[in-house]
Amino acid sequence: MDDIKNLVKIANQVQQALLKLRNYRYLELLNQFGSASDKLHEIVAESKKLALSLSHNWFTAADYCCGSIDRLTSDITYYISRVKQFAEKPREEIPTLSALVEDLKQLEQEFGKIEFDKAATTISLITKPITLDDVYLGPFKIQLELKKLSELYKDSPYYCIALDPHPAATNEEVTHPHVSNDKLCEGEGCAAIRTALEQGRLCDFFTLVKSILNTYSPDSPYVSLYDWDGEPCYDCGYVMDRDNSYYCSFCDRTFCEECSTYCRNCEETLCRGCAGKCEICEEPLCSNCAHKCAECGIYCCESCLEDGICQNCIQESEDENEQSGNQTTGTNEKSNTNQSAANTPEIKLAS
């Protein structure tokens, strides 16, 4: 008997919440209609500006008006569709108390004990532990907040709380591939969940949410199960997902972005441990692209070598040549001077 009394109390709370939801729908319709009406006023104002621009042959101004009108028509289309969405919804009959009690009884049959928090006006159920693709995620508490049911058209009124969380290694807010911050992304179930809540079919609502939690959609998870445990960087140990990992083919290990680089010559990815550098330009180099200078033996990239000699050695060689060239020129100039003096005939001035 006490159980029935409790169920009746819960059913009463649900009925009150559904009444508020129905009333909220009308308020939301007015709200959307107001927004559409504001946009219509704006478009009328823009059309007046357009007429004025054309009367003065201000074609640049006219173009600007056309742009504004174009944007406003898109906005109006959106708001009109929202108005239609709320206006065409059939008026939902609020379920009777006895129908709600039957629904709650079915809920207990399907799920086991219902938790009802009178203060917070929440109805909660706990699922069995969930494992998807051999990844253990633990049981979840599906918590419906009756106070937030009237906000159904703005925000989700329920949470999926992990009771034994095994979150993704790369994001602890993601406790399930389709749950982030305790919020479920409903995907294909969105419309059916909304309809079930609007009509007060709580058993159908909880069943649908449980179905989503027990199904893995590999196309669009917050974190895929493949990346669930992440991959640690071989160097620093940072846990990353596979999309953000870098493979070094030289040591056959995986590294994070910080611990990896790439050869500036062949653009091959490699870890900082396997990467060398050009001694001239100091850019990272792999062992395949590093060449030894034939003169001094340092390792350089191709662009810093000329005929197998590094830029430093070439420069040194040029400097040496220049120096020896200068010395030779100086000696030659002296001997030339003496020679020219010898060759110049003696000119005797007349007395």
Partner 1 sequence: MRILYINNDGCGYADYIDVAENTTVEQFFMIKMSGKDAGDYMIRVNRQPVTRDYVLKEGDRITITPTKVEGAKIL
Contact positions toward partner 1, by CB under 8 A? 102-103, 105-106, 109, 177-178, 184-189, 191-192, 194-196, 199, 201, 203-204, 207-208, 211-215, 217, 219-222
Tokens 């669930």 found at: 228
3-state DSSP helix/strand/coil percent for the chain, to nearest 5?
50, 20, 35
Nearest Cα neighbor of 200 from 51, 93, 43 is 93
**335-339 contacts, C-beta under 8 A, 24 or more apart:** none
Q: Smallest distance, Å, CB 160 to partner 1?
A: 10
Q: Smallest distance, Å, CB 199 to partner 1?
A: 6
Pick the closer one to partner 1 by CB: 220 or 328: 220
Q: Smallest distance, Å, CB 188 to partner 1?
A: 5
Q: Smallest distance, Å, CB 223 to partner 1?
A: 9
Pick the closer one to partner 1 by CB: 47 or 106: 106
Q: How far apart are CA 17 and CA 121, in angstroms?
A: 10
Pick the closer one to partner 1 by CB: 11 or 286: 11
Using DSSP, state whether 15 is helix, strand or coil: helix
Angle at 135 between CA 131 and CA 138, to 5 degrees: 50
Q: Smallest distance, Å, CB 178 to partner 1?
A: 3
Pick the closer one to partner 1 by CB: 204 or 227: 204
Tokens 């559409």 found at: 36
Pick the closer one to partner 1 by CB: 119 or 191: 191
Task: Kindly tell me the number of DSSP H helices and DSSP E strands found in the chain.
Answer: 6, 21
